[in-house]
A and B are shown apart, each in its own frame.
Chain A
């Protein structure tokens, strides 16, 4: 565990090398960590805290504020919008189907508030890419990690 912690600290401090050490860069710094690990656990918060010289509690407070950083298992996230317009187009059923399929796959299927694609409802997002007019087939492809769902 100690080795893991040291490895994380080392990797995070390398990630922070080109980040200016000021408080205003905390959010970009957290993004770098998240892009690397797909999660922001206590050991990463401690490493960021040390690298940026910002108290642990402050880093934790910021990291835990944002929904996109809430991904404890570090699995690839898939967000299905279940807000009004997407729900009217069947996204809640889509989510239910996806939940069965996602079991065993290393993905974290999540409900999302409005993704800003109401003209292409239902919408889903894998952290990098948005799929509009989502279908069972495109959701399954996203769960399987196919790049052109």
Chain B
């Protein structure tokens, strides 16, 4: 099956990614005009009706989040687009912003009007300098249209400086406030108590782009793709041992194995052409065995049967020459390096996992590893520490997959 390109511009799109013509060709000018004629309550109702869920990993219903910020007390509100894409194996926001930066930004403006925010931030990782330039150029176009600026919505690009943890929403807020990017204890949630204590809506780039294409069309069109539970499409960052690594847009409910094998998508396995496992969702993702991949659809319900989730949309493919224990050590090093050190379960736990794996503890200390993993899951402040052992647990749960 060919891609279902909605968030990504169709292959025959003629206009330049950063141009007035692109706004027209993609229907984003129509989206802006339609949105500006609506009341905030009606914008939020439409987002709710579309069934969009957050695409950053947590899959929280977007309309409900918007309603929460809208209803929160306080005069000043903020919108934040999280483009701090640093999850291992994840690159879909980069490709989306390279190919169609105006879409995500139009989503930001729609969000700002819905929650009555006059100020928005786009937080982008410091390693995406080329993408940042493109975002800045796109903002200039939107300012020329009168949609961005001091009299409309002021949008500021904020450059990260190399910290995976800054992608965690409350850490990102601290980073914008000029503090160390350390996560906050939740609750209170950013919807009520975000930037400088004000109600703040924070969404992933892909979620914002979904909102833009929704308003360029309508709810019925939006729901023509995907499943009743999860309407729409998902960007998948496909990497590793496939013929055509890249970002592909597929409807929710699509067979997982087809993402790897379809001629217009991954094009099949490369390397030894024998699949050992996939790692789905990033460094904090789940290893899935070939038969599990074969039996799964790209949707939260289907994947949850194997304890897996779509996460950031990273799909890493490993052939049978790859030693998964080596991959686990790489992931453990990643988390040990990226833990902010604020809370003990994560600071010590990520380091201990790395040490145990380096001492071949996967075989000899499996129960200790499991106990440590569960303590981290239960007691860490934020998602990093809570999910750092997820991939490890998925291997402990599949002992037959450990060998190289």
Q: Of the 9-residue stretches B55-63, B86-94, B219-227, B254-262, which lies at the interface with chain A?
A: B86-94
Query: Could you mark each residue 42-81 of chain A with 1 if its beta carbon is under 8 Å from any beta carbon of chain B, else 0?
Result: 0000000000001000000110011111100000000100
Q: Determine whether B186 belongs to the interface, using a CB cutoff of 8 Å to chain A.
A: no
Spot the interface stretch: A4-12, A84-92, A101-109, A134-142: A84-92
Asked if residues A113 and B126 are in contact (CB atoms below 8 Å), the reply is no
Contact A62 B179 (CB under 8 A): yes
Are A116 and B161 closer than 8 Å at their CB atoms? no
Of A30, A61, A65, A84, the residue contacting B89 (CB under 8 A) is: A84
Q: Are B177 and A114 in contact (CB under 8 A)?
A: no
Bound Cα distance from A137 to B154, whole angstroms = 44
Number of interface residues of B (CB under 8 A): 48
Tell me, yes or no, whether A115 is within 8 Å of chain B by CB: yes
In the docked arrangement, what's the CA distance between A67 and B165, Å? 11
Q: How far is the CB of A73 from chain B (nearest CB, A)?
A: 17
- Closest-CB distance, A68 to chain B (whole angstroms): 4
Query: Closest residue of chain B to A69, judged by CB?
Result: B161
Q: Which residues of B contact A128 (CB under 8 A)?
A: 129
Q: Mark B150-161, 1 if CB is under 8 A from A, else 0.
A: 000000001111
| Closest partner residue, chain A, to B126 (CB atom) | A68
Closest approach, in angstroms, between the C-beta of A38 and any C-beta of chain B?
13
Q: Indicate if B338 sits at the interface (CB-CB under 8 A).
A: yes
Binds A, one of B4-12, B19-27, B233-241, B369-377: B233-241
Contacts of B149 in A (CB 8 A): none
Q: Which of B160, B180, B314, B316 contacts A62 (CB 8 A)?
A: B180
CA distance A86 to B86 in the complex (A): 14
CB-based contact B161/A27 at 8 Å: yes
Q: Which residue of B lies closest to A31 (CB)?
A: B159
A119: CB under 8 A from chain B?
yes
Q: Which residues of A contact B128 (CB under 8 A)?
A: 116
Is A125 within 8 A of B127, CB to CB?
yes
Contact yes or no, A84 B176, CB < 8 A: no
CA distance A121 to B242 in the complex (A): 13
Q: Does A28 contact B (CB under 8 A)?
A: yes
What's the minimum C-beta distance from B127 to chain A, rounded to whole angstroms? 5
Give the distance in Å from the alpha carbon of A115 to the alpha carbon of B322 in the complex: 21
CB distance from A142 to the nearest CB of B (A): 15
B70-112 CB contact bits vs A (8 Å, 1 = yes)?
Answer: 0000000000000001111111001000000000000000000
Q: Does A23 contact B (CB under 8 A)?
A: yes
With CB as the reference atom, state the residue of chain A lying closest to B156.
A28
- In contact, B91 and A24 (Cβ under 8 angstroms): no
- Residues A31 and B161 in contact, CB atoms below 8 Å apart: yes
Asked if B142 is an interface residue, CB under 8 A from chain A, the answer is: no
Which A residues are in CB contact (< 8 Å) with B129? 127-130
List of A residues within 8 angstroms of B127 by Cβ: 68, 79, 112, 115-116, 125, 130
Among B130, B180, B239, B337, point to the contact of A118 (Cβ < 8 A). B239
Interface segment among B45-53, B299-307, B326-334: the answer is: B326-334
Q: B338, A113: Cβ atoms under 8 Å? A: yes
A-B contact pairs, 6 of them (CB 8 A): A24-B178, A27-B178, A65-B163, A65-B180, A114-B88, A130-B129
6 tightest A-B CB contacts, nearest first: A26-B178, A67-B162, A66-B161, A68-B162, A118-B239, A119-B245
Q: Which residues of chain A have a CB within 8 Å of any CB of chain B?
A: 22-28, 30-31, 34, 54, 61-62, 65-70, 79, 83-85, 87-88, 112-121, 125, 127-130
| Known A67-B162, A67-B163; 16 more pairs at CB < 8 Å | A23-B177, A26-B178, A31-B161, A62-B180, A65-B163, A67-B161, A83-B88, A84-B279, A114-B90, A114-B334, A116-B90, A118-B239, A118-B314, A118-B316, A130-B127, A130-B129
